[in-house]
A and B are shown apart, each in its own frame.
Chain A
Amino acid sequence: MMNNNRRLEILVGLFMIAGFVAFAFLAIKVSGLTTLNNSDTYQVFADFTNIGDLKVRAPVTVAGVTIGRVSSIILDPKTYEARVTLEIENNTKNIPTDSTANIFTAGLLGSNYISITPGFSDVFLKSGDTIENTNQAMILQNIVGQLMYNLNKKE
């Protein structure tokens, strides 16, 4: 009887451990939790005249390497510009203050992301700073529209 109970408890223990292992698999391997810890990031702002299709959680890159994510997008009620908050990892501290933030599209029809082109200043961005130089999102329809307009003008 005692032996039987012990076996039962061991089996249940194994069952719970299997649950935790599966949870760890989901957390680390599937959702990639280790790649970005929210605790060691700092916030930088950027104002865009048009953010196109940019979404919260879109990646922020320098030279194609992801260094952070977009954490919020709000409309500035006075300037009618979009104020984007960037969460940047602490191990990339040295972004010059005169860097330029662009909104690019991954592939032809992919999702939008923010690319930061570093400037030449010796002063680096701190938490709470704003990136002054920004280029708005390239919107495919506008580009096609301009192209059509120019082609018509030449004829």
Chain B
Amino acid sequence: MIEKIRQLGEKGLDFCESFGYSGMILIRSIIRKPDLKHGFRGLVEQLYNEGILSLIIIMVSALFIGMVLGLQGYNILEKFGTTQALGQLIALSIARELGPVVTALLFAGRAGSALTAEIGLMKATEQLSCMEMMAVDPLHRVIAPRFWAGFISMPVLATIFSAIAIYGGYLVGVKWLGVDSGAFWSNMQATVDFRIDVVNGIIKSFVFGFVATWIAVFQGYNCVPTSEGISRATTRSVVYSSLSVLGLDFILTALMVGGW
């Protein structure tokens, strides 16, 4: 019994320690004099890896999610004879919730896991220690560009996701099921507010990008340098980032609905 309580305390201390350690790593890697000439090249490379390579999965899932929303929404709204409201249904649910959240989940699975595995393998093959031997700070050379690239590309991906998903809903609703095109767009424009719906969605995607990349980078940097350790770290990275994205989404929505 005492042993159980001791283990519980140990877990709690471990959690606090890794939380603090990850915060220290984050601060040490992003707060420093920026090296524009070399830093920019690394950033562009990582933007390609994290942003452009995730673009296909984001675009395809956005199109299908928008189309499914269009179909489901049409079938329900048809019972009340208000199929004109399809536009606002699709636009609000995507701009407020589905755009940022689904993009963040896909981003954690596509880019976050790759980040963790890459950094973990660098650690296992002692590339990070080699850098330290050559007086190159791995936090600065490896972690910082990856973190910034994730933080920048996540909102861009979420915006593209929202636009394509709404277009997918338009394809199904207007082109296939025959909702009036004018009513579709004008109802949407009358209900969707730029500040409350669109900008808040983008704020969410910035927060999710920050958290998902932070977790991915930290799990890679902190992993046990064996093949099993890397696989565990990759799994943890996806699980933790998905959970924190969903949890944070609730908190952010509560704040935003509460008139913030």
Residue ranges of A at the interface with B (Cβ–Cβ < 8 Å): 5, 8-9, 11-12, 15-16, 18-19, 21-23, 25-27, 29-33, 35, 57, 59
Contact = CB atoms under 8 A, between A and B. Distances in A.
Nearest to A8: B48
Given A19-B156, A27-B194, A31-B193, 17 more contacts: A8-B44, A9-B44, A12-B51, A15-B51, A15-B55, A18-B156, A21-B163, A22-B160, A23-B159, A23-B202, A26-B95, A26-B163, A29-B189, A30-B95, A30-B198, A31-B192, A33-B194
Contacts of A12: 44, 47-48, 51-52
A11 B54 CA distance: 13
Interface string B128-172: 000000000000000000000000010111011011101000000
Interface of B: 41, 44-45, 47-48, 51-52, 55, 91, 95, 153, 155-157, 159-160, 162-164, 166, 185, 188-190, 192-194, 197-198, 202
A32 B190 contact: yes
A9 B48 CA distance: 8
Contacts of B52: 11-12, 15
Contacts of B189: 29-32, 35
A32 B156 contact: no
Contact of B41 (A5, A35, A59): A5
Contacts of A15: 47-48, 51-52, 55, 153, 156
A108 B41 CA distance: 61
Contacts of A25: 163, 166
Contacts of A33: 194
A30 B153 CA distance: 22
B133 to A, nearest CB: 26
Nearest to A19: B156
Closest 4 CB pairs of A and B: A32-B189, A19-B156, A22-B163, A31-B194
